[in-house]
Chains A and B, each alone.
Chain A
Amino acid sequence: MTLTSENPTKTLSTVPLRNAGAEALQKISQDGLLSLTLEEMRVIQNYFLQIGRDPTDVELETLAQTWSEHCNHKTFRAAYTYREDNAYGTRPLTDSGTKEYANLLKETIMKATETLSPQWCLSVFKDNAGVISFDEKDGVSFKVETHNHPSALEPYGGAGTGIGGVIRDILGCGLGGKPVLNTDVFCFGNLDMSPKDLPAGAIVPRRIARGVISGVRDYGNRMGIPTANGAVYFDAGYGGNPLVFCGTVGIMPIRALAKHAQAGDLIVVVGGRTGRDGIHGATFSSAPLEKGITSNVVQIGHAIMEKKTMDVLLVARDKGLYRSITDCGAGGLSSAAGELGQDTGIDVALDTVPLKYPGLKAWEIWVSESQERMVLAVPPEKWNLLSMLFSQEDVEAVSIGRFTDDKKLRLTYNADVVADLDMAFLHDGLPQLHLNAVWDAKEHQSRYTSDAGVTITGPSGEKTRRTDIAGTWTALLRHPIIASKESVIRQYDHEVQGGSVVKPLMGVFHDGPSDACVFRPKLNGWKGVAVSNGLNPEMGKWDPYVMAKVAVDEAYRNLISVGGGLTHAAILDNFCWGDSKNAGDLGGLVRAAEGCLEAALAYELPFISGKDSFNNTWKSPDGYLHSIPPTLLVSAIGVVEDVRQCVTSGLKTQKSLLYLIGDTGTELTGSLVSSLWGEASGKFPDVNFVNAKALYKKLQMAMKYRLVLACHDLSEGGLAVAASEMAFGGEVGVGLDLSGVTQDPVPFLFAETPSRFLVEVEPTRKGEFETIMGGRGVQLIGETVREPVVFVFRNGETLFKEKVELLKNAWKGTLKGL
């Protein structure tokens, strides 16, 4: 990055668009890193033909930011023709072989919410975050988003600004909420991947992991916000394109939900100054990761600046000093001021924007994604008070223009008009895409599960045999996806603010895993919030439709497991997908969206917010273009009436009973054990929502009556891993008796059939527990024992026996140095 000494006023220019042919239009878009398609360029050309002039560079940049994938979600909002060419054992979505969507997002994710529309959903899909009610006075807001491409280039800065950005979403939701929890979920390439398998100059996964974790740690910790929930996933498919999901939960007064800028209000930018950082971040996120990236797209965070801004903003909110607010994220001032003034109009003087250093051109000031900035609509009569307050707290607040009533976006630089656009065209002029999506299951599965230039096998690269129970058991515990994430979790402050109840690590020595975190956003009562997530990209390689259902089930199951939010819970979607021009990738997207709809309706879990990231692709040195595994992160949030009734996963005592809740299937496809064994049965797991919902309800009832001592959901590694992890938390032995199991006991131990739990119950309360749970899907499977071992027997034969200590060492060893 270099600074120019040119006079910025001389760098303003118009772009000769009106007479440009197709080739020239495409060149303008490519050379300017605008990521606009030819069709979009033609629409822009027509607009300027109608108004009889060429656009300025500022106007073209404004349109490119507002119409970017990041800001407009044009792929997800597109019309689709979905065709099934070859279902190959997967469930067809349509009898006729084709299905039309007028708007995929509206007809799947948003449709679920619209159908359910519970009263406690206060704000969905219209603000910077989704909001559900917490109590009569307050709501909890939740947003999760990705920062993938910046993290691939500069892991520390990319991840830090990822968490910084999502914190600002909470500050910019309604009139602002107080951030009370951060979550983080990462998908990295295998830690031992060789640079030979990665694009030239790419950062190796181990370094990306360390940088990303440090970035989230430093930003979150410095902000004084606990990071208490998350996951780390590994797959070679993320080698050149890691995924970094950052989430924040906030608490805000319900009365602060509504916001409207009015004509005459001042446009005030607060917080950090504007520099060249992050220029073209929004349009960059619409493009594949390739060579030739400049430092301009990298953003570096300044957590202390954001902390000061956050603190003073919440005071200003409570004093009623502003009428509307949003964060400066992707697209910078262009998106923020443009959005706030969408219904009114804005006049901004770009030369009044406070700069980090001189030399920025007008369009750079307008689209810069410098961090830690928020934009407010301030009534003129409140300006003096607001200005004084921010000054007292050493946070810069500068008025850069006014909201108008002419529905125009008008920008000046040194009195020259550099942009004059109709808001209607800016916000509604983007032509809708019409995309073809094709589902060919065989092609999809072969593409994602076979060797295509890099090793697309299990992250550990380890192989075992089906007949080797002990070897499989320990290999699973060592598997990076299952192995303890203590080395990561310990870097985060999960205690700050004093509200954490169920922490990420629990148990006798505080090193057993938790299924979800529970915290109290208000310390004057026992009401709490549980947050969990569901993620299963391995299944996405086989069928994204099943992956979506399993991910929703896992997120909800994790909430249930700690005793949180059976009927007062909502979910968020984060789709990270491959090539948006590949009909096969889009076929998977349609299937995943349909899976979301089905699961959300069945569990009555409304989606309240979501985000999508496309073109997560990378080229290996052999020139092969890899799409990342189709990845859907489902984040769940539920309100817990009394946190004192929450349950953790560590076993509590000896000689108690262990129940397996939920039926175990025979399918292994998409499971970690199948990758260890190098086999796939061909059958897919499925979620029986009716049975699962009934069991979840009963289990929560049992928890309410305090019949459950410990509970852990069964996910990767199945029963074997769940039993081991419960033993790790409680430092208590486990004996599993499979005599009553009619199916092959080996896959039974490792299967990942969804909707299952392992539950510890006191023997004296056996009758009560069985009465409440009643019926099918509840099986007494063993007991806790005095000897610190985990063992499995069947009809008198010992199938497996190992010391808890040895298993725990295997589990804790893999990621120790990360």
Chain B
Amino acid sequence: MKPVVIEIHPKKAAFDPLARQVQSQLIELGEPAANASVSTCRLYRLEGDFNVEQLEKIAETILVDPVVETFTVQADAAKAKKGKVKEWVVDVWPKTGVTDPVGETVETALKDFGLKGPARASSGNRYQFPKIKDPKNLKILAKKFLANELIHDIDIRKPN
């Protein structure tokens, strides 16, 4: 089965501490406060033999805190990556082979969930910037603050 990505978003009214932190870093880099709007979501990439129903159940029972979070399932991660985005998006994933404790824990949880057959999981983060005009600061932010290229893969996508 093709890799699947599950996105975990904070609910609209919920406080997003990570976004607040990134926003202040962006402002420190010189981005005008009016343009420094940020939202974030957690990403889980799963590889294994799942159907859509199972994926939704996995997201609901293992990955999401239903009080403050919602989720969406991108059943075809590769296709979703090539799709249109309305805003600047930065995805950060651990490089292959780098220890990913959250991913490992999800793998264990998948087994506990009763899934049969091998399953791989990795965890990442997505940062979305709806008001950025000039990506100069954003690119510095991505490489200097959001990720460490020694251990992370970074994927920066512009609105298209």
Q: List residues of A whose CB falls within 8 A of some B CB.
A: 1-3, 153-154, 156-157, 203-204, 207, 275-277, 293-295, 298-305, 356-357, 370-371, 394, 817
Contact = CB atoms under 8 A, between A and B. Distances in A.
A665 to B, nearest CB: 42
A691 B105 CA distance: 57
Contacts of B144: 203-204, 207
B98 interface: yes
Given A1-B98, A370-B99, A153 B150 contact: yes
23 contacts: A1-B95, A1-B97, A1-B98, A1-B151, A2-B97, A3-B96, A154-B148, A203-B144, A207-B145, A275-B97, A276-B97, A277-B99, A295-B95, A295-B97, A295-B150, A299-B99, A300-B99, A300-B100, A301-B99, A302-B99, A304-B101, A305-B101, A371-B99
| Top 4 A-B pairs, shortest CB-CB distance | A302-B101, A300-B99, A1-B97, A295-B150
A303 B101 contact: yes
A2 B24 CA distance: 34
A271 to B, nearest CB: 13
A357 B97 contact: yes
Nearest to A278: B99
B97 A154 contact: no
B49 interface: no
A157 B151 contact: yes
A39 to B, nearest CB: 33
Nearest to B97: A1
Contact of A295 (B24, B145, B151): B151
A293 B101 contact: no
B60 interface: no
B120 to A, nearest CB: 10
B105 A3 contact: no
B130 to A, nearest CB: 24
A503 to B, nearest CB: 24
A165 to B, nearest CB: 14
Interface string B130-160: 0000000000000011001011000000000
B76 interface: no
A1 B95 CA distance: 7
Interface in B89-120: 94-101, 104-105, 108
A301 B151 CA distance: 13
Contacts of B95: 1, 295
Between A1, A277, A394, the greatest number of chain B beta carbons within 10 A of the residue's beta carbon is seen for A1
Contacts of A294: 150
Contacts of A817: 24
Nearest to B104: A302
Interface residues of B, number: 17
Given A157-B151, A207-B144, A300-B151, A3 B97 contact: yes
B70 to A, nearest CB: 25
B5 to A, nearest CB: 21
Nearest to A195: B144
Given A1-B96, A203-B144, A817-B24, A154 B150 contact: yes
B91 to A, nearest CB: 18
Given A153-B150, A295-B97, A301-B101, 15 more contacts: A1-B96, A2-B97, A156-B148, A157-B151, A204-B144, A207-B145, A295-B98, A295-B150, A295-B151, A300-B151, A303-B101, A305-B101, A356-B99, A370-B99, A817-B24
A275 B150 contact: no
Nearest to A300: B99
A157 to B, nearest CB: 7
A489 to B, nearest CB: 18
B98 A300 contact: yes
A294 B148 CA distance: 12
Nearest to B94: A300
Contacts of B99: 275, 277, 299-302, 356, 370-371
Given A207-B145, A356-B99, A298 B151 contact: yes
A2 B96 contact: yes
A485 to B, nearest CB: 19
A621 to B, nearest CB: 17
A781 to B, nearest CB: 43
Interface in B2-60: 24
Contacts of B24: 817
Contacts of A2: 96-97
A295 B98 CA distance: 8
B101 A300 contact: yes
A302 B104 CA distance: 9
Contacts of B101: 300-305
A585 B16 CA distance: 48
B151 to A, nearest CB: 5
A282 to B, nearest CB: 18
A154 B96 contact: no
A204 B145 CA distance: 10
A217 to B, nearest CB: 13
Contacts of B96: 1-3
A13 to B, nearest CB: 22
A293 B151 CA distance: 11
A303 B102 CA distance: 10
Given A203-B144, A204-B144, A298 B97 contact: no
B4 to A, nearest CB: 20
Contacts of B150: 153-154, 293-295, 298
